[in-house]
Structure 1
Amino acid sequence: MREKQKYSKTRAAFLFFLWSLFIIFLHQTTTRPVWATETLSEAIATHLRTGIGSADRQKRFVCQSEIICGISVIPRFYHQRGFKPAWITDKGFFPQAKVLIAAIEEANREGLNPEDYHLFKIKALLAEAVDRQLKKIPHSPKDMADFDLLLTDAFLIYCSHLLAGRVNPETIHTGWFISTHDAHLVDILQAALDSNQIKEALNKLKPSHPGYTGLGRMLIHYRRIVKNGGWPHLVSGSSLKKGDQGERVEELRKRLLFFDDSKSVAEENDQVFDEQLEEVVRSFQKKHGLKKDGIVGPKTRAALNVPAKVRARQIELNMERWRWIPRNLGQRYILVNIADFKLSLIENGETVMDMRVVVGRTYRRTPVFSSKMKYLVLNPFWNVPMSIAVKDILPKLRENHNYLSLQNMTLYANWQNGAPPIDPGSIDWSKVNRRSFRYKLVQKPGPQNALGRLKFMFPNKFSVYLHDTPSKELFQKNIRSFSSGCIRAEKPVELAVYLLKDGSNWTREKIMAAINHGKNRSIGIPRPLNVHLLYWTAWVDKAGEIHFRDDIYDRDRPLDKALQERPPRV
């Protein structure tokens, strides 16, 4: 860590040295160079006008062999300024240019790559300017225009990545549909220049939620572990549990010191698996979504053996996911972390209720999106989605045409309003296939209903909602990806009581009475609230402790690949 700090200070000192030399040179220049019939800033403006004018007529704009990514907004920015350079004056660089370069150098703290923002070329042009000064060679207005343009593009790209993520979630994962962040980057840049607040403007664009800043702190911690060589690897063998002794227990303690550096791990008798070590193992299991039995079996050992470098990258991926979601989650909202199989109800920053959930199977994934929960339904009907009808129910009908009556389902001729019910026994199901299946299946309210006795509605294009389930035993499983995309809630009645407590007379007793009555009924939620279905494989809890989960939908790998892609080159 000290070496890294020493390197950072040395790098900063060198940059400051180059900066100082260049500013001194410009201040000492009292005559215009022989090429000039105008001031340096005027000459730069001429080159900016020419270059940007030609870019307006091209699909691609290249500067110093770098693709200018902000070409769609940069012309507007410089047109508004009369093509006056943003980062250079006749007396030297605008001080905020140095601030921007320093901010770009620290982009890795956000899990981003500084080299994505023209850093190499910007520094090369700065060094070239200093070299010209030392050799008393007049500055090239074109190079200075390029320097100005690259800094502007770097700010706009970095702004965009901080504001909405580096990767488009819709193109990398079909299940990610988060609202587009609305911000006028050109206006942000101009306001930051006018107020000398480049750093402050960038900081405002980052997610301010403790979940994001906490991941940032953890990223620094895990990178430090990686730099120091990572943690020890546990060898294969039989499970370790309380009462075991030997060198493998000693190695386990050494590994867990990176998880919990308390005295309960660093015991004098370090080859004994005692009760204190068992508690640390349980804590590790809890924070990694494992069965909390205190036994180091194959799954726990595998989690312990995930390299620190992989965990650091996992943190970076989830920082990117934070940049995708709405900045304001709401004063009161429901958050479902699909990868954790958990629902939390948050109000004023505090968790007032949480519960286990069942999410979609790997081939029927629960999508990621945000919506608003407006009403709930007691004793719901279930309109069986066509995909489930043809994939799951049609094969069962071929075996037994009484299947629908056994499941309390009604068969309708089609999906049109007023379609007549028909007898399943009147159809030769062996001749019906996925293409010819045009029927609508509806399951009546009751104890067998797949939605249970309650469903919670937040309108969305996926037809996904939160609901009760008759399969309560699934909540006892550690991995709970069994649904067809909707979310099954462990405590639906408790959730209904909470949502209806404000501005209504729906007590728990009244809700249960209405459910037992069996009548289908919709009830508006007095205070509709946001629902966020998210997918985090790493997050920081309120206590500032890191949690990791398995990537059940294999979404980390393509995101990792996308984040490794470098900007387009000439």
Structure 2
Amino acid sequence: MLPRHRKLSLSSEKEDHAARHVIEQPHDREFASTARATILLLLKRLHSKRLISLGTVLVIVTVLLAGCQDDSPPPLKRVLDDEVRTYDGARDSVVRRAYVQHEWQPVWLTKDGPTPEARALLRQLCEAPNEGLPRERYNAQGLIDTLRSAYIDPVDDDKAQSDSLRRATLASADIALTRAFLRYANDLSVGRLNPEDVQGTWHVDQDRAATIDVFEQAMQEGVQQTLDDISARHLDYVPLRQAFNRYRQIAQNGGWPTLPSGVTLAPGDSSETVTLLRRRLAATNDLEATASDSAAVATVYDGAVEQAVNHFQRRHGLEINGVVNDATRAALNVSADERARQLALNLERHRWLPENLGQDFIFVNLMDFRLNAFREGEEAMEMPVIVGEKDKQTTAFADTMSYVVFGPYWNIPKSIAIDEILPKVKDDEEYLAQNDYEVVNAAGDVVDASLLSKEALERYDVRLREKPGPGNSLGLVKFMFPNDHDIYLHDTPADHLFDAKTRTFSHGCVRVESPDQFAEFVLPDDWTEEKVREAMNADERKRVRLEKSLPVYLVYLTAWAEPDGAVHFRSDLYNHDDELRRALDEPEQRPKSCAQLDSFLQKLDEAANENDGLLTRVFR
């Protein structure tokens, strides 16, 4: 704030100090030096003649200097403006906000070289394949080349032109580092792809972090800590990533042996093929290496091998019988490279999940045919389930369960009514009565079966439903989380289907093996096992609301890892792995050493020391 108008006497030293206070604001220091001398002379002459007060002089000088200042934006802002015009999307608005918050100063680069956070980011981008992400996506090599131009390339004869070019290059490099961080953090947080774009049967809302907040967290807490926090948000993600890198390393080292086709192996067998089997099981820690190393037992299918085969079968969702049959041999012969790719695809799916699943929730992995119920963050129940047939696939999505219906009707979907039931009704007019079906109007009132037709069903004038009872397709209870997919959990009268290992038998809904136990879990505490069974077997239909809504996640995972390191694989029955692989268009994950990065950073430091004067001038 300028001082009020008043007369005072100043010595030359005080005059010089006052002039400096006003003029050392312009960006051009050479201009500031010339202006200071002129203003000092003006101050002395006017003040000596008592023609004007110092306050008035200061006002005049301030106005003059403001008009003389270089109004062009700082180089960083100018480059940013130029680059943002060529890009679309939210990320560039975040870039702009980031530099506004930092007053258009470089956030990654200094005259002494890249900051420690810039170095951490470069290393993370170099090691992006460890997360199943391609480093090419973040242009890590391009960043290194730009930094080399900014810090290491020789100086041109024209100093002004050289400084201008180097300043612009540094600005571009700083912006490129910001963009790379935002893209990498986003990919790590919510995945490279929008799941609904690539896999139309995945509809699970994500908790998307505000990217400007993530950027600021990195600036305050460090890049490595911020990215580690993102990776560790799910307990299952870290062991899955570790498994991926373990299998990728096995593949890079040549993989594992394969078994000859047509050979069945069982306990008690002895052959050279058993030696191959031992090596194969040891490669994935199903068999302890010491057991496979013993020459005396190398060809014998003994108890240790049988236990290892059982462990392998359990991890792959196969029938556990200790015998290497066709299905087990096929799973053993899938290459390490293919398994690593499968793990990478499921790393992407894990990134699609919300950051916080909740403390109490239901988790159903469709390809494992299994339901897991959690209470206060701990698994409290698990049971087998049945999911949709291959041509009637169960959609992956999330919603909240709000009520339970005992003695439910089955409101038959229009497609099933038209395609499957209506032709049978035309062939047999008693079909509806024999199967406990009835025709109802839009209000839910039972109407005469003669009103049933394809046209009436398509117009929703009428619909079909199955009456409650032990033979009802939904069984004796259903668990409702209203959704656009018309999918829910329910009982089934066809209990024998749970004996199958591959349980794709439904029209899309999820059937649970133990509905009474599941009802006791989701309902209020006063619903005991006895009370649940009474409601299930009662003649009347009963609807019971949950005390609080319960999140339900139906997900599609073909690979996951346990905290103890055990890695599980399942078949891609709906062919979603192939869809995702094509969408990612993943490049070959060839290993590259990060030692080159260390060498480059060392050269960069040396160049920064040698060019200290130049860089000080450029960064001023």
User: TM-score normalised to the size of structure 1?
Assistant: 0.84
Partners of 2:457 and 2:372 in 1: how far apart?
A: 38
Equivalent position of 2:118 in the other structure: 97
Aligned with 1:355: secondary structure? strand
Q: 1:553: Cα distance to partner? A: 0.9
Which of 525, 529, 532 is the equivalent residue of 1:511? 532
Instruction: Check 1:200–1:219 CA distance in 2 against 1; reply closer, same or farther (3 A cut).
Output: same
CA distance in 2, matches of 1:280, 1:191: 46
Specify which structure has the higher proportion of helix.
2
Query: Is it true that 1:453 corresponds to 2:476 in the alignment?
Result: yes
- Determine which structure has more spread, i.e. the larger CA radius of gyration: 2
Question: 1:203–1:44: structure 2 CA closer, same or farther, 3 Å change rule?
Answer: farther
1:354 and 2:382 matched: yes
Instruction: Flag structure 1 segments of 5+ consecutive residues without an equivalent.
Output: 1-33, 62-66
CA contact (8 A) 1:456 1:466 kept: yes
Offset, 1:445: 0.6
Q: Whole-Å Cα distance in 2 between the matches of residues 207 and 441 of structure 1?
A: 48
| Inter-partner Cα distance in structure 1 for 2:378 and 2:29 | 66
Matched letter for residue 177 of structure 2? L
The DSSP-based 3-state class of the residue aligned with 1:334 is strand
Q: Which runs of 5+ in 2 are unaligned?
A: 1-27, 33-69, 588-620
Conserved? CA contact 1:265–1:276, under 8 Å:
no
Which residue is 1:245 aligned to?
A: 270
Q: Deviations over 1:136-165 (max 9, x none)?
A: 984511111110111010011111111111
CA contact (8 A) 1:45 1:83 kept: no
| Matched letter for residue 372 of structure 1 | T
Q: Which amino acid aligns with 1:185?
A: T
- How far the C-alpha of 1:135 sits from its partner, in A, is 8.3
Deviation of 1:474 (Å)? 0.7
**Structure 1 residues 46 and 317, CA gap change in structure 2 (3 angstroms):** same
Partner of residue 211, structure 1: 236
2:145 equivalent in structure 1: 124
Q: 2:353 aligns with which of 316, 325, 336?
A: 325
Q: Distance in 1 between matches of 2:554 and 2:29?
A: 61
Q: Is the 8 A contact 1:344 1:354 kept in 2?
A: yes
Q: Which residue pairs with 2:321 in the alignment?
A: 293
- The amino acid that maps onto 2:218 is A
Give the aligned partner of residue 271 of structure 1: 299
Q: Aligned match of 2:249 in 224, 230, 244?
A: 224
- In 2, the alpha carbon distance for the partners of 1:172 and 1:35 equals 55
Does 2:328 match 1:303?
Answer: no
Which residue number in structure 1 is paired with residue 226 of structure 2? 201
Alignment of 1:514-525 (within 5 A): 514-525=535-546
Match for 2:359: what amino acid?
Q
Supply the AA of the counterpart residue of 1:283. Answer: H
- C-alpha displacement at 1:106, in angstroms? 1.9
In structure 2, distance between residues paired with 1:369 and 1:436: 28
Partner of 1:489: 512
Cα shift at 1:180: 3.1
Distance (Å, rounded) in 2 between the aligned partners of 1:436 and 1:417: 14
Kindly indicate whether the alpha-carbon contact (under 8 Å) linking 1:383 and 1:442 is maintained by their aligned counterparts in 2.
yes
Q: Give the corresponding residue for 1:85.
A: 106
* Contact 2:401/2:480, CA 8 A, preserved across alignment: yes
Q: Deviations over 1:150-196 (max 9, x none)?
A: 10100111111111111110000111112132322123213432x25
Give the residue type in structure 1 aligned to 2:124: A
Q: Choose which of 77, 83, 94 in structure 2 pairs with 1:49.
A: 77
Tell me the equivalent position of 1:314: 342
User: Which aligned segments of 4 or more residues in structure 1 are displaced greater than 6 angstroms?
Assistant: 34-38, 42-45, 134-137, 431-434
Match of 2:197 in 1: 171
Which of the numbers 549, 553, 569 marks the counterpart of 1:528?
549
Query: Number of matched residues?
Result: 515
Q: Which amino acid aligns with 1:78?
A: Y
**Counterpart position of 2:402:** 374
Residues 388 and 506, structure 2, Cα contact 8 Å, conserved in 1: yes
Contact 1:465/1:487 (CA < 8 Å) preserved in 2? yes
The Cα shift of 1:399 comes to 2.1
Cα deviation 1:18-39 (Å, max 9, x = unaligned): xxxxxxxxxxxxxxxx99989x
Q: CA deviation at 1:51?
A: 3.4
Maintained 8 Å contact 1:207/1:322: no
How big is each residue's C-alpha offset from its partner over 1:419-459, in whole Å with a ceiling of 9 and x where there is no partner?
Answer: 551124x76x6x86985785300111101111100111122
**1:344-388 deviation per Cα after TM superposition (whole angstroms, max 9, x unaligned):** 112244322111100011122111122222221111111111121
In structure 2, how many angstroms separate the alpha carbons of the residues matched to 1:131 and 1:43?
Answer: 31
2:207 to 181, 190, 195: 181
Query: In the alignment, is residue 154 of structure 1 matched against residue 177 of structure 2?
Result: no
Please state how far the C-alpha of 1:243 moved relative to its aligned partner: 2.5
Query: Equivalents in 2 of 1:44, 1:402: separation in Å?
Result: 87
Shift of 1:554: 0.6
Please state whether the residue corresponding to 2:552 is helix, strand or coil. strand
1:88-144 Cα distance to aligned partner (Å, 9 max, x none) = 245543332112111211222211112211211100012223432588984511111
Aligned with 2:362: secondary structure? strand
User: C-alpha distance in 1, partners of 2:169/2:225?
Assistant: 28
Structure 1 stretch 45-54 or stretch 299-308: which is displaced more?
Answer: 45-54
Instruction: Kindly indicate whether the alpha-carbon contact (under 8 Å) linking 1:207 and 1:327 is maintained by their aligned counterparts in 2.
Output: no
Alignment partner of 1:365 is 2:390? no
Q: Is the 8 A contact 2:476 2:537 kept in 1?
A: no
Aligned to 1:537: 558
CA contact (8 A) 2:342 2:577 kept: yes
Q: 1:468 is matched with which residue: 476, 483, 491?
A: 491
Aligned partner of residue 511 in structure 2, secondary structure: strand
Q: Is the 8 A contact 1:257 1:266 kept in 2?
A: no
Offset, 1:230 = 0.2
AA aligned opposite 1:258 = A
Per the alignment, residue 74 of structure 1 pairs with 95
Mapped to 2, the partners of 1:451 and 1:131 lie a distance apart of 72
RMSD: 2.8
Report if the CA contact (8 A) 1:68-1:153 is conserved.
no
Report the residue type matching 2:147 in the other structure.
L
Which range moves more in the overlay, 144-153 or 256-265? 256-265
Partner secondary structure for residue 99 of structure 2: helix
> TM-score, structure 2 length as denominator?
0.78
In structure 1, what is the equivalent of residue 577 of structure 2? 556
Say whether 1:442 aligns with 2:470. no
Distance 1:68 1:168, change over 3 A: closer
